[in-house]
Structure 1
Amino acid sequence: MKTALKFISKWNPVKAIAFLTAIALTFSSLFPLPVYADYGDTLPLPQTPFKGKIGKTYKESQPDFPRPIKAPAKAPNVLVVLLDDVGFGQTSTFGGLIETPNLDRLAARGLRYNQFHTTALCSPTRAALLTGRNHHSVNTGVITELATGYPGYTAILPRSAATIAEVLRSNGYNTAAFGKWHNTPANETSAVGPFDRWPTHLGFDYFYGFLGGEADQWNTSVVENTKYVEKSSDRVDYHITNDLADHAIQWIRTQQSIAPDKPFFTYFATGAAHAPHHAPKEWIEKYKGKFDRGWDQLRADTFERQLKLGIIPADTKLTPRPAEIPAWDSLSPSEKKVYARQFEVFAGFLSHTDDRVGRVIDAIDRLGELDNTLVFFIAGDNGASAEGGLTGELNQIKTFNGVKETTEDFLAALDDLGSPKTFNHYHAAWAWAGDSPFQWTKQIASHFGGTRNGLVLAWGDRIKDKGGIRSQFHHVIDIAPTIIEAAGIETPEVVNGAKQQPIEGTSLVYSFDDSAAPSQHKTQYFEMLGNRAIYDNGWVAAARHGRLPWEWVSKTTFDEDKWELYNVASDFSESTDLAQENPKKLAELQNLFQKEAKKHQVLPLDDRLESV
């Protein structure tokens, strides 16, 4: 080699370059690089080199088309189902009294995770799920409508955090999103965009759903790709969850009929069970009279079912009702009648939603693809919602405008609850009951009632322990890296020219075959509207801020917030505060929270809802 280089060095530069180029071309033709083999860390993948022959005319030449991008062999389809505002203890799958038979049957062929966490609010959970990064790390520290000019709170997903849809699409998948999006800045959601942060510009080939945080289930402003679609006003049978299921099924069937060898990624995020609680009358009537004993009894019954099913450890303690929520026995007969009906409506809404998700799963099964589909069914993007306050709501818009509704108003409209005539929500106590056995609800990121959600994962025969329970600590940022590992693709370092932020989640794949495997997700901060906590190797330090979920203004400053300490390795429900007896551990975790808060753009803490 040295002799050859010495010989070449005597040539003029042009001749030397030509010779070396010829050698390189000859070598590459004899030993071609595997298609895309070493390029998975940069997306989009480069075009394959031309391997034909160029002669003077086509008769002496040989064509070679660029090869299409193909997903890795045996890469599974992926279905992510995300429900809205469903508490840990509301589905029958996780011990609740609301029937969710499709979630049950998926759990019977897969795994239930009982220590899976979200961010305590809508947009942030979705941003974390889709990117595999913490919500503040991708500028979504709060819902898009409350965006501020601070780095962790702009509601602008950075190009340095490509969605899992973009990663899969660039690796040979077809991708589609259906339902609630809530990750586009509010000022960019009009019919003229800009569309850079709409689903079809963030990795999805197709989108059908709505961009905002909630929707009238009977009369919804629907977007198809980047166009608003008018729905016929005379369709008395219309319901958005039906419509979403219809479009998802149609898209999956079309994709499989045209490209059966190409895997699909379907993100199915219902508006349910976010308020307004809208459901067909027959679904509501299934629950008539079933909650007449009230929320205290519902919570106790749920707790007993959770113990019986093994969803929670046998030594778990049921945390008490907070002083801010009234006892059921303190209510008048009229109030009990109204509030029981509110939860009947919600129960019908959730069961109806489970049924429609079941239609999508059945459609995949009929295509013979269910065993080859990695399914994530996440029962809630946060804990159950207490935003209905201490009366519930007939019309949420009235509440936003300061118009009070009386028990008499509810009694007069009781039969209309859940119909197109109402924009309804339930009493906050139902949310607390539905988050059994934990403290608090949606928005309260300091406690598991706001952040603990049921996850069911199924993947054909890849899951051996069918019906098993997994208790490793995990978070919604772990979904994306799980999909990447299961699909056999690389985590990209560059996407569309943008250097990528590190994935902050931990894949769940290690837990599939080993229920006793130690948790690999060791540390996780939580923060939402000033409510904050830090988990680290079985310990949690938590500080609940002064504003309750149904209030607009906080009564306390951040310096007044009391920190609590829990050893959740032995105290599943955060029932015993150890702050007084272990101040050293508390101080250690408080310091860790500050470190994580700085690292992930959590600061400044901000509890404002009105004056942003």
Structure 2
Amino acid sequence: MSSSILRVLSLSLLITWLMVTSPALADTGKVLPINPPSFNGKIGITYKESTPDFPAPIKAPEKAPNVLLVLLDDVGFGQASTFGGAIETPNLTHLAEKGLRYNQFHTTALCSPTRAALLTGRNHHSVGTGVVAELASGFPGYTTILPKSAATVAEVLRQNGYNTAAFGKWHNTPDYETSAVGPFDRWPTGLGFEYFYGFLGGDTNQWSPALVENTKRIAPPTNNPDYHLTPDLVDHAISWIHSQQSIAPDKPFFTYLATGATHAPHHAPKVWIDKYQGKFDQGWDKLREETFARQKQLGVIPANAQLTPRPKELPAWDSLSPDDQKILTIRM
């Protein structure tokens, strides 16, 4: 979570920089799409009397950074160890120790609205996504149609010399436009991403996902009994980044990685189930207290903060039967 928020801040600063410093945008009033450059050559009566003028390719500002934006689904503020949680996230902690952790932020608490706001920098209602794609209505703010007037971060960066790619969960295309015949202008490749590998809906089977590459539906690997979507997404992202660095090392990239986990269905690989065996046997009441104490120690919540009451809809852990506790411990 900290990585995602940190990247958003860095990205907003970068886009401001691009809008101010890019000659192409300065020449066109800082408006996208960028107008094609005027012809500065000469057209004579004959070829010998003519002078060609090839437009220079658009380049990103000097030292423009590569950007990796990672979005984790349904991960609470107190779940990652980086913020005092019980789930070990050493790499996120390493990033946070060299960067920033944010403990105040706006969240829409829904899949499609979160992504729409994150990728456009706008309030989710102002870009037509006040609800998840499958529940769209014909009312303003709830059509789930991202307007062309609100470019995605990927589109802004692409038109300023970046290569762009998205991997994983999308969930920002109207449900009635997700068939194999499109239309594709509101798929990732129509909204600024030059490459896409992932799935269009809000969730998918982690063992046998409904995969899409660009605008083509593809079958998941069937020859690997240990296949799981998350490593597959990461491997594809790494491969794409390696290609960028080997073929065009001077061209910056923007990579958006949104995992299908930890959203339902909760298809955890056995290695992860074994890793956390017994770690939640104390139940959710004790877990809340332990997480709260660790967050105070880290300073991500105020020292005088008080733990909120357990929601009434959630029964006390000690009131559950041993069988129920066993099942819910596994789910946790």
Q: Which residue matches 1:224?
A: 213
1:258 to 241, 247, 257: 247
2:64 pairs with 1:89: no
Cα drift, residue 43 of structure 1:
1.8
Is the Cα contact below 8 Å between 1:175 and 1:206 reproduced in 2? yes
Distance in 2, matches of 1:107 and 1:68, equals 36
2:237 to 236, 248, 252: 248
Cα drift, residue 56 of structure 1:
4.0
Q: Which residue matches 1:359?
A: none
Is the Cα contact below 8 Å between 2:25 and 2:31 reproduced in 1? no
Q: Which residue matches 1:269?
A: 258
User: The residue matched to 2:53 in structure 1 has which SS?
Assistant: coil
1:255 maps to amino acid: Q
Q: Which residue matches 1:118?
A: 107
2:87 pairs with 1:98: yes
Identical amino acids, percent of aligned pairs: 73
User: The residue matched to 1:98 in structure 2 has which SS?
Assistant: coil
Q: Which residue matches 1:341?
A: 330
Deviations, residues 354-387 of structure 1 (Å, cap 9, x unaligned): xxxxxxxxxxxxxxxxxxxxxxxxxxxxxxxxxx
Change in Cα spacing, 1:208 to 1:73, as seen in structure 2 (3 Å) is same
2:59 to 49, 65, 70: 70
Distance in 1, matches of 2:110 and 2:25, equals 39
Distance in 2, matches of 1:54 and 1:111, equals 56
Distance in 1, matches of 2:145 and 2:26, equals 33
TM (norm. structure 1) is 0.49
Distance in 2, matches of 1:88 and 1:159, equals 33
Deviations, residues 392-412 of structure 1 (Å, cap 9, x unaligned): xxxxxxxxxxxxxxxxxxxxx
Distance in 1, matches of 2:74 and 2:204, equals 13
Q: Which residue matches 1:169?
A: 158
Deviations, residues 334-365 of structure 1 (Å, cap 9, x unaligned): 1111111111xxxxxxxxxxxxxxxxxxxxxx
1:290 to 270, 279, 300: 279
Q: Which residue matches 2:128?
A: 139
Q: Which residue matches 1:301?
A: 290
Cα drift, residue 313 of structure 1:
1.0
User: The residue matched to 1:326 in structure 2 has which SS?
Assistant: coil
Q: How many residues are aligned here?
A: 310
2:180 maps to amino acid: A
User: The residue matched to 1:71 in structure 2 has which SS?
Assistant: coil
1:142 maps to amino acid: V
Distance in 2, matches of 1:116 and 1:204, equals 26
Cα drift, residue 35 of structure 1:
5.2
Kindly name which structure, 1 or 2, has the bigger radius of gyration based on alpha carbons.
Answer: 1
Q: How does 1:84-483 map onto structure 2 within 5 Å?
A: 84-343=73-332
Is the Cα contact below 8 Å between 1:79 and 1:266 reproduced in 2? yes
Distance in 1, matches of 2:235 and 2:270, equals 21
Q: Which residue matches 2:28?
A: 39
Cα drift, residue 61 of structure 1:
3.7
Task: Give the structure with the higher percent strand.
Answer: 1
Deviations, residues 400-449 of structure 1 (Å, cap 9, x unaligned): xxxxxxxxxxxxxxxxxxxxxxxxxxxxxxxxxxxxxxxxxxxxxxxxxx
Deviations, residues 561-612 of structure 1 (Å, cap 9, x unaligned): xxxxxxxxxxxxxxxxxxxxxxxxxxxxxxxxxxxxxxxxxxxxxxxxxxxx
Is the Cα contact below 8 Å between 1:181 and 1:210 reproduced in 2? yes
Distance in 2, matches of 1:108 and 1:173, equals 28
Q: Which residue matches 1:14?
A: none
Q: Which residue matches 1:79?
A: 68
Change in Cα spacing, 1:166 to 1:304, as seen in structure 2 (3 Å) is same
Deviations, residues 269-309 of structure 1 (Å, cap 9, x unaligned): 11111011122212211111111110000000000000011
User: The residue matched to 2:26 in structure 1 has which SS?
Assistant: coil
2:296 maps to amino acid: L
Q: Which moved more, 1:38-47 or 1:92-101?
A: 38-47
Is the Cα contact below 8 Å between 1:45 and 1:171 reproduced in 2? no
Q: Which runs of 5+ in 1 are unaligned?
A: 1-33, 344-612
CA RMSD of aligned residues (A): 1.4
Q: Which residue matches 1:512?
A: none
Deviations, residues 128-182 of structure 1 (Å, cap 9, x unaligned): 1111111111111110111111111111111221111111111111111100000
User: The residue matched to 1:299 in structure 2 has which SS?
Assistant: helix
Distance in 2, matches of 1:60 and 1:188, equals 52
Distance in 1, matches of 2:38 and 2:138, equals 45
Cα drift, residue 242 of structure 1:
1.0
2:36 maps to amino acid: Q
User: The residue matched to 1:236 in structure 2 has which SS?
Assistant: coil
Change in Cα spacing, 1:105 to 1:40, as seen in structure 2 (3 Å) is farther
Cα drift, residue 36 of structure 1:
4.9
Deviations, residues 5-56 of structure 1 (Å, cap 9, x unaligned): xxxxxxxxxxxxxxxxxxxxxxxxxxxxx65533252222223333334444
Distance in 1, matches of 2:322 and 2:51, equals 86
Change in Cα spacing, 1:328 to 1:232, as seen in structure 2 (3 Å) is same
Distance in 1, matches of 2:142 and 2:169, equals 20
